[in-house]
Each structure stands twice: as C-alpha cells, then as structure tokens.
Amino acid sequence: MGRDPLEMIAAQIKGGADVIQLREKNMPKGEKLPLGLATRNLTKQEGTLFIVNDDLDLALILEADGVHLGQDDIPIQYARPLMKDKIIGISTHSLDQAREAIDSGADYIGIGPAFKTETKAKTDPVVGVDLMLKVQGLSSIPVIAIGGIGKSNIDVLLNKGIKKVAIISDILSSRDIEAKTRALKEKLM
Ligand code: TZP
Ligand code: MG
C-alpha cells in the first residue's frame, strides 16, 4: 500500500522543506481538493509556503500562497489579476522562456530538467548549469532548478552557484522522508 500523502508532506516539513507544492498530475480534481485542503491546513499550521501546481482554480479555492504554471498552463497575464500579489512561478526550459517569464511578472522561475528524470512524462532536453547561471543573472527573482536532482548530484549544482532546488523522487522514494529532506536541506544552508 502507498504511503499517506499527508504524512509524507508532514515529514518533508519536519525535515525543513521551505515550500510544499501540490503536484498530482493524475489525480482527479475531486480528489485533489480534499488533499489540497488538508495540505493548506498543515502548511498554514507549520508556517510553510504552499504552492499549487497547474491548477489556478484550486490555488484560489485553497487560498494557497501561490500557483506554479508551466508553458502549457494558463498564461500569467490571466492568472495575475486573480492571484493579485500572491506568488506565481513559471516553469522555463530556455533563456527566451525565462526572459518572457520575468517580463510578464513571474515571482520565481523554475528551470529544468537539471538532470535526466523519470518523474515527468515528457521532459524537455536537460538544461545545463551554464544556462541556469545565465537565467539567474537576468533578474533578482529566485531561480529554482528542478528535474532529477538528489543527494548524488546536488553538489554539481551547488558548487557552480545554483542554490535553490525542487526535488520530488529522491525525497519521496526514501524510506525516511524526513531524514532525506533534512540531509538535502543541510546542503542548501
Ligand atoms: N520539470 C522538469 S523535471 C520535473 C519537472 C516538474 C519533475 C522533477 O521531479 P524529480 O523526481 O525531482 O526529477
Ligand atoms: Mg503545469
């Protein structure tokens, strides 16, 4: 039997995760809603930022701290009037996409995949560290590397100056999610 998603979230918060993103690509919205409500309650209680991936409607209903939009999601121009001064993050895979996200008022940029990953069904080509650094140099908003990052390769990014990361499988595949999150977080501090 799979592990309880809320317990996995609680373990990541205990381990020091700064942000929890609700990313359930294959879950019907009717199921995402109660999970989202519980996640909102927990993150609020713990003082952890809560971002909803893809679903602007859920982000609004759940009163999340922000929404994360990909290149094929609702464009930021339509999301901003509804999200007001809440966080809007944009996934980017190239310098042009990053420039566009910055110009359109993104609060942070996700960039990747940093390494090969099985988590996303259809990934763009791996984005090199040099491009990530260029994107970091474009503005002062946070740039968060994503895709295939874990304990075995995070130093490659850190050593070159990429200091913010988003991680899914390396954490969720761990037997002890709290300990793995803590070990990764310690590297980031
Ligand atoms: N964008 C590029 S890869 C990815 C996203 C959302 C998924 C990252 O998951 P993992 O398991 O940390 O590689
Ligand atoms: Mg998306």
75-134 pLDDT, tens digit each: 999 999 999 999 999 999 999 999 999 999 999 999 999 999 988 888 889 999 999 999
pLDDT at 161: 97
Among all bound ligands, the one having the nearest atom to the CA of 171 is: 1
**Protein residue closest via CA to atom 7 of ligand 1:** 147
- Ramachandran sector of residue 164 (left: φ over 0; alpha: ψ -120 to 50; beta: rest): beta
Mutate which of 21, 54, 168 for ligand 1? The one with the most ligand atoms within 8 Å of its CB, which is 168
Whole-angstrom Cα Rg for the chain: 16
Global pTM reads 0.96
DSSP letter at 147 equals S
* Token couple for 113: 């995949």
131-146 pLDDT, tens digit each: 999 999 999 999 999 9
DSSP letter at 82 equals H
pLDDT at 1: 54
